[in-house]
């Protein structure tokens, strides 16, 4: 059974793809664009798009964090257990 995949991109290239079972994203408030908290995504999540702000993107597998990086804003999409993050910059 396939888990989830988190894939990180900048406008210029794909940085990394990570197998996981949960992802946390730093989401932006829809009105102000400022940080409004982190949002968790698990297998089977509905199709969605999120506006991201500066913060931490992380992925876990079996309860253990397998990836973490700083994100300076952008957007993320969720579809068919694939989470794609597109950001101007990502610090691993």
CA distance 51 to 74: 6
Residue with tokens 């257990």: 81
What is the SS3 string spanning 25-56? Answer: EEEECCCCCCEEEEEEEECCCCCEEEEEEEEE
How far apart are alpha carbons 86 and 43 in whole angstroms? 20
Higher pLDDT, 11 or 64: 64
Q: What average pLDDT does the segment 29-34 reach?
A: 79
pLDDT in tens, 43-89: 999 999 999 999 999 999 999 999 999 999 999 999 999 999 999 88
What domains does the chain contain, in order, with CATH numbers?
Answer: 4-91 (2.60.15.10)
Can you tell me the mean pLDDT for 3-32? 91
User: What per-residue confidence (pLDDT) applies to 20?
Assistant: 96
């Amino acid at each position: 059974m396939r888990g989830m995949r988190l894939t990180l991109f900048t406008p210029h290239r794909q940085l990394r793809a990570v197998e996981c079972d949960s992802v946390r994203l730093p989401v932006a408030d829809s009105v102000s664009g400022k940080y409004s908290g982190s949002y968790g995504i698990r297998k089977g999540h509905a199709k969605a798009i999120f506006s991201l702000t500066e913060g931490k993107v992380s992925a876990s597998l079996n309860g253990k964090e397998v990836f973490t990086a700083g994100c300076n804003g952008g957007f993320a999409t969720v579809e068919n257990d694939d989470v794609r993050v597109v950001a101007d910059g990502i610090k691993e």
